[in-house]
Structure 1
Amino acid sequence: MSEAVPGRRERQRLQMRRRLLEAALSLFEAQGFEATTIDQIAERADVARQTVLNHYPTKRDFVLAWGERRRQEAAEAYVPGSGRMRERLHRIYDVLAQINERERPLTRMLRGQMVVPQPVPPAVMATLEDGAASGELFPQAAPQDVAEILAAVYFDTQNRWLLEDPPAFDLKETLSRKLDLILGQPTAT
């Protein structure tokens, strides 16, 4: 079943949200989260203050939207039935590493504003559920528990990677190694 194509009004609403988010993120990166005001975001996006508040009632809502955008990008790496669980998780974590590398200054700036506990990306949860159903996950391991462990390892590794400039280690390689450690030895295919 195909998704419905959004109407003109919905497309305009989504376009405005993207425009506001980009304005906010560029200001956060340039001058910091705390120093950025709603009025500055409105000015950068060339809209009224109330327009910003209609779409993002608080500055924190921009951070939530930014996190959702990142999770959505990672979700694009999830293709049901495309390889084994381990391979799919590696693809998702590779995309997450690429996002972090691309947005490193912004991630450093906003990491303290992120929601705790961090949500598990739906693509990770779906991959683990698929893995449990196909017998690729340890029988005694609940997919939710493994997802929470993977999320904790991801965010801890991300935080360590963000501490030094330049980074002290390769994020993609380290995430891959830790993912294999958590999942156990790769099985022959």
Structure 2
Amino acid sequence: MNGSNVTADPPQGRRERNKQRVRDSIYYAAIELFADQGYDQTTVDEIAEKADVARGTFFNHFQKKEDLITEWGAKRRDVLREGLAAATETDPRRALLECMGLLADISLSDPALTRALTTAWVKAGCILQEEPYLSDMLGDFVVEARRRGQVPDSVDPRLAGLLLRDVYFGTVFRWVQRPEGESDLAADLHTACETVLDGIMPLSAHGS
């Protein structure tokens, strides 16, 4: 092939890819350290050293160590979104339970990291700044159930979504507090979710 016909990648594109590679390197170095030795025990200098970057480079990508928790949460949301896109269940109640199962799978894919960063997430006060992504998504299931006549019109989907989100977070927090292996997160989430659904979306409402 004639070299003059080869179009080089735009310089800006290369810079952005390199920037993303460095950011990813810092992130994955950090979460490995968090899982191994805990969030509070890990310093920015240790993260920079493991990622083989200068301390200043860390702050070019993350303003503070807590931003890594936000990044972790965003990546978990991406995995959940992909899982829900591939799901085939259409009944709102079963779909909600399947969603809880996906959330459990995400947490259990790396239990040590989940324990370390969930604890750090609470300590950093991130729960007070949580965007309503999860509650809105859970509320959408309730909207669909109400459309099907499975939920009374008196049930507010937004409040139901918030309640289901609180059930999820509360169950995960309790799981984190217990010794490893003492409780089954997936089973606990399923039971907790069903308890709420029995109040707003009873099985008898859709003949199951």
Normalised-by-shorter TM-score class: 0.7 to 0.9
Of Structure 1 and Structure 2, the greater helix share is in 2
Contact conserved, 1:27 with 1:36, CA < 8 A, in 2? yes
Name the structure 1 match of 2:57: 51
Contact conserved, 1:85 with 1:131, CA < 8 A, in 2? yes
- CA–CA separation in structure 1 for the residues paired with 2:35 and 2:151: 40
- CA–CA separation in structure 2 for the residues paired with 1:91 and 1:11: 35
Q: Deviations over 1:4-56 (max 9, x none)?
A: xxx55444443333222111111112222222222211111112222211211
Identity rate, percent: 30
- CA–CA separation in structure 2 for the residues paired with 1:166 and 1:41: 26
Report the residue type matching 2:167 in the other structure. Answer: V
Contact conserved, 2:146 with 2:153, CA < 8 A, in 1? yes
Q: Cα distance 1:50–1:156, how it changes in 2: closer, same or farther (>3 A)?
A: same
Task: Please state whether the residue corresponding to 2:181 is helix, strand or coil.
Answer: coil
Name the structure 2 match of 1:3: none
Q: Deviations over 1:90-147 (max 9, x none)?
A: 2221111112222221222222321123444254344344444444443222222111
Q: Give the number of equivalent residue pairs.
A: 183
Larger Rg: 2
1:144 matched to 2:158? yes
Name the structure 1 match of 2:108: 101
Q: Cα distance 1:63–1:21, how it changes in 2: closer, same or farther (>3 A)?
A: same
Q: Deviations over 1:58-89 (max 9, x none)?
A: 00000111111112211222239851212222
Contact conserved, 1:78 with 1:123, CA < 8 A, in 2? no
1:188 matched to 2:199? no
Deviates more, 1:97-106 or 1:118-127: 118-127
TM-score (norm 1): 0.82
Deviates more, 1:52-61 or 1:153-162: 153-162
Identify the match of residue 26 of structure 1 among 29, 32, 46: 32
- CA–CA separation in structure 2 for the residues paired with 1:109 and 1:27: 10
1:178 matched to 2:192? yes
TM-score (norm 2): 0.76
How much is the aligned-residue C-alpha RMSD, in angstroms?
2.4
Report the residue type matching 2:187 in the other structure. Answer: E
- CA–CA separation in structure 1 for the residues paired with 2:164 and 2:19: 34
Q: Cα distance 1:175–1:15, how it changes in 2: closer, same or farther (>3 A)?
A: same
Q: Cα distance 1:119–1:167, how it changes in 2: closer, same or farther (>3 A)?
A: farther
- CA–CA separation in structure 1 for the residues paired with 2:150 and 2:88: 13
Contact conserved, 1:161 with 1:171, CA < 8 A, in 2? yes
Contact conserved, 1:104 with 1:162, CA < 8 A, in 2? no
